[in-house]
Chain A
Amino acid sequence: MNLLVCISKTPETTAKIAFTDGNTKFDESGVQFIMNPYDEWYALVRAIELKEKHGGSVTVINVGPAANDVVIRKALAIGADKAVRIDAEATNSVMVAKNIADYAKANGFDAIFTGKETIDFNGSEVGGLIAGYLDLPFVSYASDLQHDGTTATITRDIEGGVEVVEVSGPFVLSAAKGLAEQRIPNMRGIMMAKKKPLEVVAATAADAPVSVTAYSLPPEKGGVKMIDPENMDELVRLLREEAKVI
């Protein structure tokens, strides 16, 4: 079973968020990056588990600059067999998905995994777009995946419950919590990762019709107002007039 896992980098969860270039760009200075947890903990690990069971190989793919190699190496250390980096700045979901789809089309995979979203931009778009470009079925928010080699049985998280679907033939999946359990790489894996191939390929698709006009931070949390328990009228007035919640 040949599987392609799309991995993206995201700022570490404690990173300070700021913007540059007139609020159109995320300020990366001093920010530590990690592999997007949905990609790492669920999509990648489940793909490795399937490979361990059925044989085949796991390829990870990232669209981004050389600075992303450390994140890619981590995926190799966890157990992916080879890596591909499409050498272009990832400007938006459309160009990322187009590049990955082009690579996947040229190389042929039994399934393509993504995380359900990245924890920074929360687009949830790449998986669906890849499926669209490749004309493959897309199963989103997968929290369980069983595969007998020909048919995949996938449990999807839906509002208030789950949906179980069956897919035969190649498909694209986006991974949600529960699909697998996080694997911490070990030193042996890290040493082996150095020797695994990391292929750098030129981008096939350049920019796309979507561009960011502005980012803004959520409004700062106001201070807490203490109200005397005797003064219920004042509480109601504030909830109505200031907080505007009732």
Chain B
Amino acid sequence: MKADRYQYHDYYQINDLLTEEQRLVQQTMRDWVKQEVTPIIEDYAERAECPVHLFKQMGELGALGPSIPSEYGGGGMDEISYGIIMQEIERGDSGIRSMASVQGSLVMYPIYAFGSEEQKRKYLPQLATGDMIGCFGLTEPDHGSNPAGMVTRLTKDGDGYRLTGAKMWITNSPIADVAVVWARDDDQKIRGVIVDKEMEGFSAPKIEGKWSLRASITGELIFDNVYIPEENIFPEIKSMRGPLSCLSKARYGIAWGAIGAALDCYDSALRYSQERTQFGKPLGQFQLTQKKLAEMITEITKAQLLAWRLGTLMNDHKATPAQISMAKRNNVMMALQIAREARQIHGGMGITNEYPMMRHLMNLETVLTYEGTHDIHLLITGMDVTGLNAFS
């Protein structure tokens, strides 16, 4: 890829709404992405290899679980700072952001929210530094959009339990030291289990052939009668509220993150439209190109406002899952459409790895699907406004 000439775009001066600390977080993460992510990302994505070394770097930066309290190794930061971190990382690549959001929102958050004191002390500090890598197993081969239908079983066995079943499409799983897995117990209740890599009967094969999130490793989780001691079970939580509250955290991060991918594409398109001339004038002087660029920055600005307001609601503990769902759906689709339009503005060059759009475009197809597909989120908003459940 060419030198990273990315510049942030803040059409509505939303940065004025940020605290000094949040602006510092933004600048810090932007500098890090420029130094460590964009120079290597096309190469890793092309080879479909995960830059595992970035876990440690993100750990050192404090980008893993930044809103977890500092006594457990987290940053003790507010939700807007967390959102900004996700946005800047995803400006680099959605795959790298996925590594970080799984670790922070789907592994550290449930251990923090539902884990025993011993579980928190054992896992959180190491997850925060990136010395330990985590993954989150909810989706199953036959239960994606409907996770409540899960068939992975947790059956009582003496002092502990036995875990049987399989999870599918699990980010980080082949390189994970620990997996937070959701399973159904003898009472049909949904329980959260911390599975350690060394446990007998546990394997995590890699899923090959992905054309999306190629720099993020994805795999399965297979549990062949794995013995789970009682101390590895989340003590209190016994319902879908467990995994769903993690998803709310992660979806919130994605609502910010997707804007990063959109900004990267828009920024590249804006620059290209000023530098490339056809018919004796810069592309940016053609009305059709201007329409594309004008719509892009408008949609980005709307998404930024949505994310910022959602962040304040999160900080006040007032954000509803439906509000989070709306922002995830809107912002990801916005980013996907901008990636396409931005790709078009680059003409033939737009399909190469000299520019980031194709990679973002392919990545965003996953982002549109995971953490609740676009359509499922439409139904969540639909249910919220009509009071009628389209799922049952």
Contacts and interface: CB of A to CB of B under 8 A. Distances in A.
Contact of B75 (A70, A74, A77, A188): A188
Contact of A184 (B23, B35, B66): B35
A233 B25 CA distance: 58
Contacts of B24: 70, 73-74, 77, 185, 190, 193
B35 A188 contact: no
Interface stretch (B57-65, B252-260, B362-370): B57-65
A188 B129 CA distance: 12
A69 B21 CA distance: 11
B91 to A, nearest CB: 16
A186 B60 contact: yes
Contacts of A246: none
Given A191-B70, A191-B77, A184 B32 contact: yes
Interface in B241-281: none
Interface string B65-90: 01000100001110001000100000
A187 interface: yes
B66 to A, nearest CB: 5
A188 B28 contact: no
A70 B27 CA distance: 11
B198 interface: no
B20 A187 contact: no
Interface size class of A (residues with CB under 8 A): 10 to 19
B32 A194 contact: no
Interface in B131-154: none
Contacts of B76: 191
Given A187-B75, A188-B62, A194 B21 contact: yes
B375 interface: no
A187 B23 contact: no
Contacts of B81: 187
A185 B28 contact: yes
Interface in A58-107: 69-70, 73-74, 77
Contacts of A193: 21, 24
A20 interface: no
Interface string B217-230: 00000000000000
Q: Which of A14, A187, A190 has the most CB of B within 10 A?
A: A187
A190 B77 CA distance: 10
B23 A70 contact: yes
Contacts, number: 51
Contact of B61 (A70, A187, A194): A187
Nearest to A77: B24
Given A184-B35, A188-B62, A70 B25 contact: no
Given A14-B7, A184-B61, A191 B21 contact: yes
A27 B166 CA distance: 61
Contacts of A187: 25, 28, 61-63, 66, 75, 77, 81, 85
B31 interface: yes
A190 B21 contact: yes
A186 B61 contact: yes
Contacts of A69: 20
Nearest to B18: A70
A185 B24 CA distance: 9
A184 B60 CA distance: 10
A186 B56 CA distance: 13
A73 B61 contact: no
Interface in B23-65: 23-25, 27-28, 31-32, 35, 60-63
A74 B24 CA distance: 7
Contact of A188 (B21, B70, B85): B70
A70 B23 CA distance: 8
Contacts of B27: 34, 74
A186 B62 contact: yes
A69 B19 CA distance: 11
Contacts of A77: 24, 28
A77 B20 CA distance: 11
B21 A184 contact: no
Nearest first, the 3 A-B pairs at minimum CB distance are: A187-B62, A187-B75, A186-B62
26 contacts: A34-B27, A70-B24, A73-B20, A74-B24, A74-B27, A77-B24, A184-B28, A184-B31, A184-B61, A185-B24, A185-B28, A186-B62, A187-B28, A187-B62, A187-B75, A187-B85, A188-B62, A188-B70, A190-B24, A190-B25, A190-B77, A191-B21, A191-B70, A191-B75, A193-B24, A194-B21
Interface of A: 14, 34, 69-70, 73-74, 77, 184-188, 190-191, 193-194
Interface of B: 7, 20-21, 23-25, 27-28, 31-32, 35, 60-63, 66, 70, 75-77, 81, 85
